[in-house]
Chain A
């Protein structure tokens, strides 16, 4: 194996071969920063262009392209609260508050360093795993994934700096929202209110973008700009060095998160988003004081960043070991392997092992190069944070909406994002934790799917818990997490909060228990979900009723007290889907921009002219984008008098 490692190193770092991963990394970084092109599209183009290349060169390029794209999504998450991809949503939970509190350099350099550490540890774990790779991957089935998901859920209640009861309610709400759409097993539509578009469910990206980016924009508008600016001044030292050192100060967290990322990444069908959120949940649970998580705790940035880069390598391994792609990049890798005569499985892990290491080292090099560029560019990137918030809100909002519409060409995504934005804003305003809802939403489909498969396999007598070592290990993790949660609830909260926790926990356990019992006894069915839904909803409603006694503690503000700016912003945003339906996307966005500016600019002639000019600019820009860049084929508006 050592020979194979040396050949892989030599392929990657020899001259001029090293230019290939450099080119791939830079290409991936640029593409990741530009909306509308997408890593998959560029990989598909490169796939064709490199048909005549040697196997080594192609693997160098693909390894680099996989590694290069990940980190750039974190930059926009940290600076603008816009996740580059779904996994980057875990980064913004603490990354954006850190930069808001005046530590953009620290946050970016910390993310870059954690990514580098994550990728190095990920590669080391992979090298250690290669001899036992095939049996390890084969061990992780639906039962293990179900337990992994439950572990993720048991960690999330500890995430926020607020009541565990509120976290539990948010968690249930997240699970329920994830069930909108279609049953993952039968394909039958569920809770769609008769809407054909809702059959697909609520998209993760629209939900995350709404929940964080749009909610934050409403909050920005709701706050006085002056006070926000004051907050944005660095209260302490904001430096690249501090960010780098933070990763090494929390070295064990970096190590554990990287291992979580690698192992979760290896499992086909799990994905980087789950890995990042599980790492984040683990960080909050293992932290001594978790009170600042969600408000700029650097550990909440280190964990997902280390996991996100560590999982890159892991996600390619099922493709190498079995010819089964475990991710989108894995799909391309399998195609590349076939096009260039490489054989996945025993051959790639045997006689063609040098090629496997070439791929792994290209990935490592790319991750390190991206981090290096990230650290070097930190001072310049951090300056973007100096742009006043009021100048950022509208461009960020329009950019986010365009990003959404480009994803699937579905107007429903805009509506979902805005509704999630409103929900996120209210939750933030009334100090209800958002993270448990998001994690439960992300894990919901994953949990349900694997619950269904597991119950079916139990029914057919195809799996036994005691025969599955990986399941036993995960079950132990769940028990430890549960015990830890019980201990912190007892130790850290007032008597009233503990009672509330107890009520919620009891009803949640009852609901979950009913669902599980029905699933195990009668087999998975729509009835299982209905029973679980009724039990969980009843639990939530009863618990909320109980909470009324604690209203003063749970609702620090009375309902009608909402800042006027936030009110206007919210009203405008809620009108936007209707406006788009009425006059079309381009005209709708232009009118929205005009209305927005009219609410913030002075209402004199100059203000109106400026608003009109910006609205015109937005309309023309959108027209050019839709006409020449994205052909989305959107449905005709009700009043098609404008483009």
Chain B
């Protein structure tokens, strides 16, 4: 059932292929610049996972498109910061790209990490999907009105938006247990009844739910997800917040609806390719051409669909605009996010 729905989602994704015309062809000068060199895609997550699969599909497509040799390196340490450092300081002539999630470069909450959007150029975004809350099968959100929901998290600062802000919009109280060493550990904590729920991208949640022990509870989107219309969603008309806030006074309701909308804007899993700001402008321009050509190609779409990975390609300029607006939104809500996070960890 879930598998067939995932196929539907992927077919919907394929429907956006005509957007490929948005991407310009690679110029001869850039082909000459790139084809004789080695490219490297740094992935900050372990081999075999979603990030890695995307990187390897992109590497194959990029190699076929440019004739260059493209290598994927998984640099996992420091919760992703090590891989980011490798990309950021790779040198001005280097063809080292980073495959990062949006949260890694926009930093909605101040952390000790020193790298952010100002250290990287976005070359393009290739995947965007909503996150979803996941809990034991049979979990009922209504039972937690007036009680504290305990959630397992691996990375503190994305959790602030994905769980804290969404719970705030629903009027739920949340306590976070941080330190789980990965999604496996965090999801297993639900099965051990240490926590009630966790949050990951919809695809990851659906995979975890395939065993029947876990189930998606709430999709953090502002409308039904294609192929999963029956799943409750957070914001927008007909969303859970819309239903929960019907009996509230207009101001509180508007506030909750607004928070829900901000949650969906800040919590999407958005994955893109980045390069260091230090890179030579000519190389940057060529990399934009190459990446756009690759992520809008039919070859990439088909390969991603074969591996059950949804795509949503976006040009470098659109990616830049999206990241900037996310950055501004995150900054605007930073005090609230920080206070929510502190409450979650109290």
Interface residues of A (CB under 8 A from B): 38, 40-41, 43-45, 48, 51, 134, 137-139, 141-142, 181-182, 184-189, 196-197, 199-201, 203, 268-269, 318, 321-326, 328-332, 334-335, 338-339, 341, 343-347, 408-410, 449-450, 452-453, 456-457, 460, 462-463, 627-628, 630-636
Contacts and interface: CB of A to CB of B under 8 A. Distances in A.
Contacts of B29: none
Interface stretch (B10-18, B20-28, B47-55): B47-55
Given A196-B85, A449-B181, A633 B211 contact: no
Nearest to B156: A187
A328 B185 CA distance: 13
A188 B181 CA distance: 16
Interface stretch (B188-196, B229-237, B287-295): B188-196
A321 B214 CA distance: 12
Interface in B58-98: 60, 69, 71-75, 77-79, 81-82, 85-87, 89-91, 94-96
Contacts of B189: 141
A325 B48 contact: yes
Contacts of B46: 40, 328, 331
Nearest to B211: A345
A268 B184 contact: yes
B185 A633 contact: no
A287 B113 CA distance: 47
Interface string B163-188: 00000000000010111111111011
A280 to B, nearest CB: 23
A633 B90 contact: yes
Interface in B98-147: 111-114
Contacts of A48: 56, 60, 307
Given A44-B48, A48-B56, 20 more contacts: A38-B47, A41-B72, A48-B60, A142-B194, A182-B81, A185-B179, A186-B178, A187-B157, A200-B81, A323-B208, A328-B46, A328-B47, A332-B47, A334-B48, A341-B3, A409-B86, A410-B86, A452-B178, A453-B180, A462-B195
Interface in B290-323: 306-308
A462 B212 CA distance: 24
Contacts of A328: 46-48
Contacts of A142: 194
Contacts of A322: 187-188, 191, 208, 211, 213
Interface residues of B, number: 69
A324 B184 contact: yes
Given A328-B48, A449-B181, A631 B95 contact: yes
11 contacts: A43-B48, A141-B189, A268-B188, A331-B47, A410-B86, A452-B178, A462-B150, A462-B193, A631-B96, A633-B86, A636-B91
B280 interface: no
Contacts of B89: 635
Given A51-B306, A186-B156, A631 B40 contact: yes
B215 interface: no
B210 A344 contact: yes
B181 A269 contact: yes
B325 interface: no
A632 to B, nearest CB: 7
Contacts of B211: 321-323, 343-347
Contacts of B150: 460, 462
B159 to A, nearest CB: 11
B112 A189 contact: yes
Nearest to A409: B86
Nearest to B89: A635
B39 interface: yes
Contact of B48 (A134, A188, A331, A634): A331
Contacts of A331: 46-49, 52
B155 interface: yes
Given A185-B178, A187-B112, A323 B194 contact: no
B207 interface: yes
Going nearest first, the 4 A-B pairs with the smallest beta carbon separation are: A345-B211, A331-B48, A200-B78, A40-B47
A612 to B, nearest CB: 29
B343 interface: no
* Main DSSP-derived SS at the B contact region: mixed
A142 B194 CA distance: 10
Contacts of B308: 338-339
A188 B112 contact: yes
Contacts of B71: 630-631
B210 A343 contact: yes
B252 interface: no
Nearest to A190: B112
Contacts of A635: 89-91
Given A460-B175, A631-B38, A269 B182 contact: yes
Interface of B: 3, 37-40, 46-49, 52-53, 56, 60, 69, 71-75, 77-79, 81-82, 85-87, 89-91, 94-96, 111-114, 148, 150, 155-157, 175, 177-185, 187-189, 191-195, 207-208, 210-213, 306-308
A321 B188 CA distance: 11
A310 B295 CA distance: 42
Contact of B38 (A38, A341, A628, A634): A628
Nearest to A270: B181
B72 A44 contact: yes
Contacts of B81: 182, 199-200
B61 to A, nearest CB: 12
A335 B51 CA distance: 12
Contact of B78 (A43, A181, A463): A181
Contacts of A200: 77-78, 81-82, 85
Contacts of A346: 211-212
Contacts of A41: 47, 72
B283 to A, nearest CB: 12
Contacts of A462: 150, 177, 193-195
Contacts of A184: 179
A477 B77 CA distance: 32
A197 B307 CA distance: 34
A532 B78 CA distance: 23
B103 to A, nearest CB: 12
B238 to A, nearest CB: 30
A138 B91 contact: no
A178 B86 CA distance: 22
Contacts of A138: 188, 191-192
A265 to B, nearest CB: 14
B179 A449 contact: yes
A61 B103 CA distance: 37
B215 to A, nearest CB: 12
Contacts of A628: 38, 69
A502 to B, nearest CB: 34
Contact of B91 (A323, A325, A633): A633
B77 A201 contact: yes
Contact of B69 (A186, A408, A631): A631
Nearest to B90: A633
Contacts of B49: 331
A550 B166 CA distance: 62
A268 B194 contact: no
A456 B179 contact: yes
A575 B148 CA distance: 56
Contacts of B212: 345-346
B194 A141 contact: yes
Nearest to B49: A331
Contacts of B91: 633-636
B86 A452 contact: no
A189 B82 CA distance: 13
Which residue among A186, A408, A630 has the maximum number of chain B CB atoms within 10 Å of its CB? Answer: A408
Nearest to A343: B210
Contacts of A40: 46-48, 52, 74
Given A40-B48, A325-B48, A334 B207 contact: yes
A394 to B, nearest CB: 27
Contacts of B179: 184-185, 449-450, 452-453, 456
A408 B77 contact: yes
